[in-house]
Chains A and B, each alone.
Chain A
Amino acid sequence: MRGPDPEPVAGPAPRTIEGASLIGQRISKLDAPDKASGRARYIHDLNLPGQLHAKIRRSDRLHARIVSIDTSRAAALPGVHVILTAQDIPQRGLGVNKDNPALKGEKVRSLRDEIAAVAAETPEIAAAAARLIEVQYEDLPAITDAAAARAPGAPLLHDNKPGNLALTFDYEHGDVALGERESDFVVEDTFRLHYVTHCCMGVSGMIAEFQPNGRLLLYSNTQVPFLHKREFAEILEMDPGDIRIIQPPIGGGFGSKLDIYPFEPICVFLARAARRPVKLVYTREEEFIASPTRQPVILTLRSGCRKDGTLTFRTCTTLHDNGAYTSWGATTPFVMMQTISSLYRLPHCRYHTDAVYTNNPYAGSFRGYGNLQATFAVEQHMDRLAEAAGMDPLSFRLKNAQDPGETSLAGLHFRTCGLKDCLRTAAERSEFPVRHRRAAAARNDGSRVKRGVGMASMLHVGGGAKIYPSDGCGTILKLDDFGRVTVMTGASEIGQGSETVIAQLVCEELGLPMSAVTVVNNDTDITPWDVGVHASRTTFIAGNAAIGAARLAREKILRAAARLAKSDVDSLDLHAGNIIRKNDGEIVMPFAKLLRALHFSEQADLVMTSFYYEPPSKHQDKTFKGDVSAAYAWATQVIEVEVDTDTGMVRLLKVTAAHDVGRVLNRLGIEGQIEGGIVMGQGYAVTEDLVIENGVCRNPAFRDYKLVTAPEIPEMDISFIETMDGEGPQGAKGVGEAPAICVAAAVANAIYNATGVRICALPYTPERVYRALHAAGAG
Chain B
Amino acid sequence: MNSPAAYLVPASVDEAAGALSRGNATVLAGGTDLMPQANQGVRVFRHTLININRIAELKAVSRSGDWLRIGALVSVTDLLQNSTLRGICPMLAETADHFASDQIRNAATVGGNLCNASPAGDLSPPLLALDASVEMACHRDGRLQRRSLPLDQFFLGPRRTALAENELLTAVQIPLPPPRHYGRFFKLGIRPALDIAIISVALAGVLENRKLNRVRVAFGAVAPTPLRARRAEALLEGRILDEETIRAAAQAAREEVTPITDVRASAWYRSEMVSSMMRRLLHEAAGA
User: CB-nearest residue of chain B relative to A646?
Assistant: B276
Interface membership of B264, Cβ < 8 A: yes
Contact with A along B121-151 (1 / 0, CB 8 A): 0000000000000000000000000000000
Across-interface contacts of A691 in B (CB, < 8 A): 263
B190 in complex: contacting residue of A646, A765, A771, CB < 8 Å: A765
Interface residues of B in 151-191 (CB under 8 A from A): 188, 190-191
* Alpha-carbon gap, A698 to B261, bound state (A): 13
A704/B264 contact (C-beta < 8 A), A646-B276, A771-B269 known:
yes
Q: Are B193's CB and A699's CB within 8 A?
A: no
Interface membership of A262, Cβ < 8 A: no
Interface membership of B4, Cβ < 8 A: no
Across-interface contacts of B266 in A (CB, < 8 A): 767
Select the stretch in B43-51, B69-77, B194-202, B203-211 that faces chain A. Answer: B194-202
Q: Are A712's CB and B191's CB within 8 A?
A: yes
User: CB-nearest residue of chain B relative to A703?
Assistant: B196
Q: Are B276's CB and A647's CB within 8 A?
A: yes
Interface residues of A in 123-154 (CB under 8 A from B): none
Q: Are B195's CB and A706's CB within 8 A?
A: yes
Q: How far is the CB of B4 from chain A (nearest CB, A)?
A: 16
Interface membership of B192, Cβ < 8 A: yes
A711/B193 contact (C-beta < 8 A), A767-B265, A767-B269, A771-B269 known:
yes
A712/B192 contact (C-beta < 8 A), A646-B280, A699-B263, A767-B265 known:
yes
Q: Are A766's CB and B191's CB within 8 A?
A: no
Q: Are B191's CB and A647's CB within 8 A?
A: no
A711/B190 contact (C-beta < 8 A), A646-B276, A646-B280, A691-B263 known:
no
Q: How far is the CB of A196 from chain B (nearest CB, A)?
A: 14
User: CB-nearest residue of chain A relative to B270?
Assistant: A767
* Alpha-carbon gap, A766 to B268, bound state (A): 13
Q: Are B191's CB and A709's CB within 8 A?
A: yes
Contact with A along B244-288 (1 / 0, CB 8 A): 000000000000000000011110010011001101100000000
Q: What's the count of A-B pairs with C-beta under 8 Å?
A: 46
Q: How many residues of B contact A (CB 8 A)?
A: 21
* Alpha-carbon gap, A15 to B37, bound state (A): 58
Q: How far is the CB of B288 from chain A (nearest CB, A)?
A: 17
A770/B264 contact (C-beta < 8 A), A706-B191, A711-B193 known:
no
Q: How far is the CB of B118 from chain A (nearest CB, A)?
A: 12
Across-interface contacts of A770 in B (CB, < 8 A): 269, 272
User: CB-nearest residue of chain B relative to A774?
Assistant: B272
Interface membership of A687, Cβ < 8 A: yes
Across-interface contacts of B273 in A (CB, < 8 A): 647
Q: Are B196's CB and A687's CB within 8 A?
A: no
A704/B263 contact (C-beta < 8 A), A687-B190, A711-B192, A765-B190 known:
yes
* Alpha-carbon gap, A647 to B263, bound state (A): 17
Which of A691, A699, A709 is packed against the most chain B CB atoms within 10 Å? Answer: A709
Across-interface contacts of A686 in B (CB, < 8 A): 190
Which of A448, A647, A703, A774 is packed against the most chain B CB atoms within 10 Å? Answer: A647
Q: How far is the CB of B189 from chain A (nearest CB, A)?
A: 9
Across-interface contacts of A703 in B (CB, < 8 A): 196
Q: Are B188's CB and A766's CB within 8 A?
A: yes
A698/B191 contact (C-beta < 8 A), A647-B273, A647-B276 known:
no
User: CB-nearest residue of chain A relative to B279?
Assistant: A646
Across-interface contacts of A767 in B (CB, < 8 A): 198, 265-266, 269
Across-interface contacts of B196 in A (CB, < 8 A): 703-704
* Alpha-carbon gap, A641 to B25, bound state (A): 51
A766/B190 contact (C-beta < 8 A), A647-B273, A699-B263, A706-B195 known:
yes
Across-interface contacts of B280 in A (CB, < 8 A): 448, 646
* Alpha-carbon gap, A767 to B265, bound state (A): 7
Q: Are B265's CB and A698's CB within 8 A?
A: no
Q: How far is the CB of A363 from chain B (nearest CB, A)?
A: 20
Across-interface contacts of A647 in B (CB, < 8 A): 188, 273, 276-277
* Alpha-carbon gap, A699 to B272, bound state (A): 24
Across-interface contacts of B101 in A (CB, < 8 A): 709
Q: How far is the CB of A700 from chain B (nearest CB, A)?
A: 11
Contact with B along A684-721 (1 / 0, CB 8 A): 00110001000000110001101011011000000000
Across-interface contacts of A709 in B (CB, < 8 A): 101, 191, 193-194
* Alpha-carbon gap, A90 to B195, bound state (A): 46
Interface residues of A in 745-769 (CB under 8 A from B): 765-767
* Alpha-carbon gap, A704 to B272, bound state (A): 21
Q: How far is the CB of B1 from chain A (nearest CB, A)?
A: 9
* Alpha-carbon gap, A767 to B263, bound state (A): 11
* Alpha-carbon gap, A100 to B190, bound state (A): 36
Across-interface contacts of B195 in A (CB, < 8 A): 706
User: CB-nearest residue of chain A relative to B280?
Assistant: A646
Across-interface contacts of B279 in A (CB, < 8 A): 646
* Alpha-carbon gap, A217 to B240, bound state (A): 77
* Alpha-carbon gap, A767 to B199, bound state (A): 12
* Alpha-carbon gap, A646 to B273, bound state (A): 8
* Alpha-carbon gap, A134 to B280, bound state (A): 55
* Alpha-carbon gap, A167 to B198, bound state (A): 40
Across-interface contacts of B277 in A (CB, < 8 A): 646-647
Interface residues of A in 606-651 (CB under 8 A from B): 646-647, 649
Across-interface contacts of A698 in B (CB, < 8 A): 263
Q: How far is the CB of B175 from chain A (nearest CB, A)?
A: 32
* Alpha-carbon gap, A191 to B198, bound state (A): 26
User: CB-nearest residue of chain B relative to A283?
Assistant: B39
Q: How far is the CB of B81 from chain A (nearest CB, A)?
A: 19
User: CB-nearest residue of chain B relative to A702?
Assistant: B194
Contact with A along B53-78 (1 / 0, CB 8 A): 00000000000000000000000000
* Alpha-carbon gap, A767 to B269, bound state (A): 6
Across-interface contacts of A766 in B (CB, < 8 A): 188, 190, 198, 269
* Alpha-carbon gap, A305 to B41, bound state (A): 58
* Alpha-carbon gap, A774 to B273, bound state (A): 12
* Alpha-carbon gap, A41 to B196, bound state (A): 33
Across-interface contacts of B198 in A (CB, < 8 A): 766-767
* Alpha-carbon gap, A770 to B193, bound state (A): 20
* Alpha-carbon gap, A702 to B277, bound state (A): 26
User: CB-nearest residue of chain B relative to A647?
Assistant: B188
Across-interface contacts of B265 in A (CB, < 8 A): 767
User: CB-nearest residue of chain A relative to B36?
Assistant: A703
* Alpha-carbon gap, A496 to B193, bound state (A): 28
User: CB-nearest residue of chain B relative to A766?
Assistant: B190
* Alpha-carbon gap, A687 to B280, bound state (A): 23
User: CB-nearest residue of chain A relative to B192?
Assistant: A711
Which of A646, A649, A712 is packed against the most chain B CB atoms within 10 Å? Answer: A646
* Alpha-carbon gap, A706 to B263, bound state (A): 12
Q: How far is the CB of B120 from chain A (nearest CB, A)?
A: 11
A706 in complex: contacting residue of B188, B190, B269, B272, CB < 8 Å: B190
* Alpha-carbon gap, A291 to B10, bound state (A): 45
User: CB-nearest residue of chain B relative to A693?
Assistant: B263
User: CB-nearest residue of chain A relative to B1?
Assistant: A124
* Alpha-carbon gap, A584 to B122, bound state (A): 72
Across-interface contacts of B192 in A (CB, < 8 A): 711-712
Across-interface contacts of A771 in B (CB, < 8 A): 269
Q: How far is the CB of B210 from chain A (nearest CB, A)?
A: 20
User: CB-nearest residue of chain A relative to B266?
Assistant: A767
Across-interface contacts of B272 in A (CB, < 8 A): 770, 774
Chain B residues at the A interface, C-beta cutoff of 8 Å: 101, 188, 190-196, 198, 263-266, 269, 272-273, 276-277, 279-280
Q: Which 9 A-B pairs have the closest CB atoms?
A: A767-B269, A698-B263, A646-B276, A706-B190, A711-B192, A687-B190, A699-B263, A767-B265, A704-B263
Question: Can you name 6 extra interface pairs (CB under 8 A) apart from A647-B273, A706-B191, A708-B191?
Answer: A647-B188, A649-B188, A706-B195, A766-B198, A766-B269, A767-B269
Q: 18 A-B Cβ contacts within 8 A?
A: A448-B280, A646-B277, A647-B273, A687-B190, A691-B263, A698-B263, A703-B196, A709-B101, A709-B193, A711-B191, A712-B192, A765-B190, A766-B188, A766-B198, A767-B198, A767-B265, A771-B269, A774-B272
Chain A residues at the B interface, C-beta cutoff of 8 Å: 448, 646-647, 649, 686-687, 691, 698-699, 703-704, 706, 708-709, 711-712, 765-767, 770-771, 774
